[in-house]
Chains A and B, each alone.
Chain A
Amino acid sequence: MSVQRRKSKIGFFIILPSLILIGIFVYYFIFWTIRTSFSDWNSFSKLLRGIYNFVGFRNYQRIFLDQRFQTDLWNTLFFTLFFIAGSIGLGLFLANIIDKGLKGSRFFQSLFLFPMAIAFVVTGTVWSWIFAPGNIPKDPQGINLLFKNIGLEKLQWLWYTSSESIGHFNLALIPVIIAAIWQMSGYIMAMYLAGLKAIPNEILEAARVDGANERYIFWKIKMPLLKPITLSTMIVLGHVSLKIFDLIYAMTGSGPNNVTDVPAIYMFELTFRSNRYALGSAISVIMLLMVAVIIIPYLYSSLRKGVSS
């Protein structure tokens, strides 16, 4: 008992420095950002004087009435939906093909995982060249040039410079979503692959003996067993998409009429370009809340599971 206590004491001292650092650089700064978001620090000189004027929810009011921020929220919603659906769909599809153990599947496994190793900034830059429209139809670039060369001129499009929209969905987001799916689907594939490998062969064999076809096995046996993985991939993708900045910043900026703008970019411009620290903090807090809506139920359920097991 005393040995164990001493051990846990040592353990505590080992993690103490990181606890302190996390306390300061995460939780204290979250607190400070919230505090700033309730102030009138919307210029450098006000921040500098450091006189704290509490203005209540005025910054939040202003930001929710802001046209650009409303666009940002719609963009985030559609980006999140299509990005999660696309990444999971493609990842699952790839995982199933690799899992069949065909020739060369190992090679493709690493190939698909590769984008994961590239920074979003690089992905964004490269895909901005691919989807740069050029001066269509005469002088196209990137993928439009490809379409011209293979005789599919009709497919030429303005891509992320398009300002069309269907309802609140800005079509310029499509190239951005494609780039994001390209980046993340390999990782989702790896997660599912691990899940598929963990399914005991006996279960599948037994089902086959009972006369189940492959489709039945996939939907009724494999998918239910993969449910925890689906849940955790959704968490990972969800928080990536809610706070996405670098991919879009490098690829399109905020686009014409803010068609590809997201809260993180607006927050960056407000805070570091126009010195509106309080408004920028308000956006940060809203983003934190959006991520919390996803993360907290997940943490809660996984902690409860941890206790019960």
Chain B
Amino acid sequence: MKKLTLGLITILLVISSVFAASNDLEIFSWWTGGGEEEGLLALFAKFNQYYPNINIINAAVAGGAGTNAKAVLKTRMLGGNPPDSFQVHAGMELTDTYVIPGLMEPLTNYLREWGVYDKFPKDVMEIVSYQGEVYSIPVNVHRGNVVFYNKKIFRELGLTKEPTTWAEFFAAMKKAQEAGYIPLALGDKNKWTLTHLFENIMLSVFGPEGYKGLFNGKTSFDSPELEMSLVLLERLIPYFNRDHSALTWQDAGRLVFEGKALFNVMGDWEEGYFKTLGWKPGVDFGWFAVPGTDNAFMFISDTFGLPKGAPHRDNALKWLKFIATKEAQDIFNPIKGSIPARIDADKSRYDVYLTWSMNDFATVAVVPSIIHGSAAPEGFVTTLNDALNRFIVKKNISNTLRDIMWAAEDQGYLTE
């Protein structure tokens, strides 16, 4: 009797799970904290208004910048058990890891069918494409080449104009140093912030086209600009806070917030951080593009793609179509604190900083970030992190150049 009941229950469970499973949609991401989770849940809520029958499974894995989530995702992809759609940074993180091994479905035709292909900037479509096919849908955009500054200190030092050249930038830093402030806050305990600074210097020295060319073979890594970038980084070292290797990016931002440091080079998530600390954009803190890069937009974007063999492919396509709409992007981004990937979004929903960023995004050249996974494969990024981590102590330009060159060679960037 007992056996029979157990058997019946098992059969019922199996049947019900089969039926329930038929209308699921599993979305994999690392959005679990801050405004990002709320943004994601708001998206889910809106999606369910259109498709009330689809049961969304939120498969988010906690951990900063997706370090844990990426490992989990790789295991699932290896095991042939992909989610229906997953979050991935636009660029090499997507193409090198998933597209080239043949794990993703191209979306170009769907984008055309939904009439949204031309709603994204051309540069962006290029970054999410491989061999002419688009492989993911960008939902948000962050800008990486921004200098944030403390307005109170800025005024106190008698500065009126935001620096646009390195000469002006160094002059301002000198003033700050003489007045007893930290000129340029850095927190590179986790290494990537230093590379973040360096890629902005590279962008400034190479120019947007030259910088982009490094990763598509049009510019050689073996060019004098790379050395010039290192020289410029070395000139910046005396202006850092001495304890930079004990701090995280938030700690460095805090130095600006607490009125101890003047500048900090960061991405626009720092604007969100300042706002949570109670600062008002444009009143307490100002910003400008890293000197020499105001003609470029260092692009970091979260996207969603369609893995081959997605268990609920139809639902996944509905999801992708939904997040490509203006409506979805305008729901998600003001909450997350980023700008929409589409150029036709509703500007009235965004604050003064994000509006500035949106205007630039629509007009200047969009270039991929190395450190945030857009420009180069993960292996190159780790090697570059290491090389710069040594450089900041040893200040040995020729060794660092050699290390970077080797990394470039490993990735096949250095063909000659």
Give the complex CA separation of A160 and B386 in angstroms: 18
A134 contacts partner chain B, Cβ-Cβ < 8 Å: yes
Shortest CB–CB separation between residue A143 and chain B, in angstroms? 12
B282 contacts partner chain A, Cβ-Cβ < 8 Å: no
Shortest CB–CB separation between residue B246 and chain A, in angstroms? 5
Looking at the complex, which one of B70, B100, B180, B382 makes contact with A269 (CB distance below 8 Å)? Answer: B382
A43 contacts partner chain B, Cβ-Cβ < 8 Å: yes
Which residue on chain A has the smallest CB distance to residue B383? A274
For A100, list chain B residues within 8 Å (CB).
none
Question: Contacts A48-B78, A132-B243, A135-B243; is A254 near B389 (CB within 8 Å)?
Answer: yes
Give the complex CA separation of A134 and B392 in angstroms: 18
Interface residues in A196-242 (C-beta closer than 8 Å to B): none
Interface residues in A144-179 (C-beta closer than 8 Å to B): 158-161, 163
Question: Contacts A253-B189, A272-B71; is A48 near B242 (CB within 8 Å)?
Answer: no
Give the complex CA separation of A49 and B392 in angstroms: 38
The answer on a CB contact under 8 Å between B191 and A257 is no
Query: How many A residues touch the partner, as a band?
Result: 35 or more
The answer on a CB contact under 8 Å between B379 and A276 is yes
Interface residues in B179-217 (C-beta closer than 8 Å to A): 180, 182, 188-191
A304 contacts partner chain B, Cβ-Cβ < 8 Å: no
Question: Contacts A48-B78, A48-B101, A252-B189; is A274 near B381 (CB within 8 Å)?
Answer: yes
The answer on a CB contact under 8 Å between B74 and A256 is no
For A256, list chain B residues within 8 Å (CB).
188, 245, 389, 392-393
Give the complex CA separation of A254 and B247 in angstroms: 13
Give the complex CA separation of A141 and B258 in angstroms: 14
For A42, list chain B residues within 8 Å (CB).
379
Interface residues in B203-254 (C-beta closer than 8 Å to A): 241-247
For A67, list chain B residues within 8 Å (CB).
390
Looking at the complex, which one of B245, B247, B379, B394 makes contact with A275 (CB distance below 8 Å)? Answer: B379
A39 contacts partner chain B, Cβ-Cβ < 8 Å: no
For A63, list chain B residues within 8 Å (CB).
none
Q: A residues bordering B, Cβ < 8 Å? A: 42-45, 47-49, 67-68, 128, 132-136, 138-139, 141, 158-161, 163, 252-258, 269-270, 272-276
Give the complex CA separation of A160 and B377 in angstroms: 31
Inter-chain residue pair count (beta carbon < 8 A): 89
For B191, list chain A residues within 8 Å (CB).
253-254
Could you say which of B78, B96, B241, B378 has the most chain A C-beta atoms within 10 Å of its C-beta? B378
Can you report 13 A-B residue pairs in the complex whose CB atoms are below 8 A from each other?
A: A43-B379, A49-B101, A68-B386, A133-B246, A135-B243, A135-B260, A161-B242, A161-B243, A253-B190, A253-B191, A256-B245, A274-B382, A276-B379
For B389, list chain A residues within 8 Å (CB).
254, 256-258
For A161, list chain B residues within 8 Å (CB).
242-246
The answer on a CB contact under 8 Å between A135 and B379 is no
* Mask: chain B, 159-183; 1 = CB below 8 Å from A; 0 = not: 0000000000000000000001010
Looking at the complex, which one of B71, B242, B245 makes contact with A255 (CB distance below 8 Å)? Answer: B245
Give the complex CA separation of A214 and B243 in angstroms: 48
The answer on a CB contact under 8 Å between B241 and A135 is yes
B97 contacts partner chain A, Cβ-Cβ < 8 Å: yes
Give the complex CA separation of A44 and B78 in angstroms: 9
Shortest CB–CB separation between residue A221 and chain B, in angstroms? 47
For B180, list chain A residues within 8 Å (CB).
138
**Given A48-B103, A161-B242, A273-B381, 10 new contacts (CB under 8 A):** A68-B386, A133-B242, A135-B182, A158-B242, A258-B386, A270-B382, A272-B70, A273-B378, A274-B381, A275-B377
Could you say which of B189, B190, B244 has the most chain A C-beta atoms within 10 Å of its C-beta? B189
The answer on a CB contact under 8 Å between A257 and B390 is yes
Looking at the complex, which one of B96, B246, B260 makes contact with A139 (CB distance below 8 Å)? Answer: B260
Shortest CB–CB separation between residue A271 and chain B, in angstroms? 9
Could you say which of A134, A136, A275 has the most chain B C-beta atoms within 10 Å of its C-beta? A275
B77 contacts partner chain A, Cβ-Cβ < 8 Å: yes
Looking at the complex, which one of B182, B241, B246 makes contact with A128 (CB distance below 8 Å)? Answer: B246
The 5 closest A-B pairs by CB, nearest first: A257-B393, A274-B382, A45-B101, A274-B379, A256-B245
